[in-house]
Structures are given as C-alpha cells and as structure tokens.
Amino acid sequence: MRKLLMAATASVALAAPALAAADGPYVGIEGGVTFPRNSDLDVILNNTTTYDNGYKADYKDGYDVDAILGYKLGPVRLEGEAGYKRAKVKSLGVSTPLITDVGTAAGTTATADDFSVGNHIGIKTLMANALLDGNFGGGFGGYVGGGAGRAWASQAGDSDNAWAYQGIAGLRYALTPNLDAGVKYRYFRTGSLNFNDAFTVNAVPFTTETSGHYSSHSVLASLVYNFNGRAAPAPVAAEAPPPPPPPPAPPATQTCADGSVILATSVCPAPAPPPPPPPVERGERGR
C-alpha cells in the first residue's frame, strides 16, 4: 500500500496546473489503521548498567486519527494537524545479558515475562505539514509532502515527549464542489522517548529506564471540506463568425438617347418617329 500510494502521488509534480479546489481555507478529519514498527529500546537497570537493545517491543496494529486545518495557495497546501495514535504491546523481547543479570541479582531464574513496558503505547501529536497538491482530472487528485512537530507519548505508566516528523502521500476524489474524500498514507517517527518503570523478581525490586524511537506506517480515510469550493472553469471564448462576403460589383450600364439608363448588355429603345409636317393652306380660287 505504501509503495502504491507513493508511486501514484509522485506524479503530482507533473500534473496539469488545474487545481482541485479554489485557494482558501479547508478543514478535515481522518482515521484509519496504524502499523507500528518494532522498537529496539536501550535499558538502564537500577540507574547503573546500560544494555543496548535490551528490549525489543513488538506492537499490534492500532488506530490513528487526526483533525486538520489548512490553507491552499496555488499548488501548495499548508496545514496544522492534531492527532492521536494507540497500539497494544504484542510481545516484549529481552536480551540475554539483561535476563541473566536480573536473575543473578534476584537469586532465581528470570524470564522475559518478568519484564514489562506496559500493555499499550499512546501518542498525541501536533504537526505542521506542507504539501504539493495537483489535479489528475475527472475529479481525482493527489498530494505529497511532509511535516514536523511534537509528540507526547505514554507507556508503562510514564510519559515523555520528543520532536517528530512524518512523510505524507494521498489520493482524493471530489464528492461535491466543496467536499473531497480520499485515502492517505503516513510514515511517522519520533525522536528518542524515555520511560521509567519498576518491577520485582523474587521479591527483589528493580528499576528500568528505557529509551528509543517510535515509528509507524498508517493508512487513513479522509474527508476534507473546502470553504471556497472549486473555481468554475473559464468559459471558452466563441470564435468570431467569418466576415460577410463583399457585395457584388454593380453591373455595367449605358445611357440611351432618351436619357434612360439600362444595362450595358441591353439595347436602347428605337427613337420615336418625327411628327408629320403640318398641312399647307391654299387661297380662294380667282383671288
């Protein structure tokens, strides 16, 4: 799952500049399964002897939830994240030198069951993330980035805090103009966390201080509300119609003798015949 999501979201940087949502604020909630990695812990026994990798804690799959508040500016998303992770301890491995020394001090045969790091680990986080976001088309998009912040952990009745960082990749789909649903991958790791514990073997008290990193992979479902919605696509300008053809040239004409104007290809009318001469008057006979 991690490789698939990382490969898919790596193409965000090459995506077209069309964006999933308009610039502006957004909020979201996320939740899913976390897969803690085994933790190798250094152990200080009775504040005197240090055992490198004295413990190896193996955790069961747990849950991971968070809430985000962010702002989108072009292809970049900046967000704050508050989260909580919790996983039960599956088993605890103890190094042979540590078991041997505890058994010797207690005057009995010690086993790994005599040691404990509690039955679960819980981690609260406040992180600041920066993500590169792009659109794949068809309502789909993706993002990739990372974050850093602070983690507060509790285990075996004790608590500690340390700096932490994470890598993030995700895919999303637009359900409405404002609402996105998606799936998100997260790799998380803390700095060194220290926990104190006490136990007895054969009525002999012992104290331990453990130190080590916590890291996990998580797969989350997400629901994000974008306050500004999606920018409407710019309308495509209609092409201007072609100009009308020029008017035809006027036909050639001629002016006839009677003053009429006719086509040059026509024949002028024949002129009217002249009027007959007036009759001649004759005088009276004999005059």
- Other residues' Cβ atoms within 10 Å of the Cβ of residue 154: 18
Kind and range of the H or E element at 96? Answer: helix 96-106
Q: What is the DSSP string of 39-75?
A: EEEEEEETTTEEEEEEEEEEE--EEEEEEEEEEEETT
Per-residue pLDDT tens digits of the chain, which is 287 residues long: 445 444 444 444 444 344 446 789 999 999 999 999 999 999 999 999 999 999 999 999 999 999 999 999 999 999 999 999 999 999 999 999 999 999 999 999 999 999 999 999 999 999 999 999 999 989 999 999 999 999 999 998 999 999 999 999 999 999 999 999 999 999 999 999 999 999 999 999 999 999 999 999 999 999 999 998 765 555 666 777 888 888 888 888 777 877 777 777 777 887 777 777 777 766 555 45
Domains of the chain: 2-226 (2.40.160.20)
Structure tokens at 1: 């799952």
Residue 163 CA, chain-centre distance (Å), reads 24
Is this structure's pTM higher than 0.85?
no
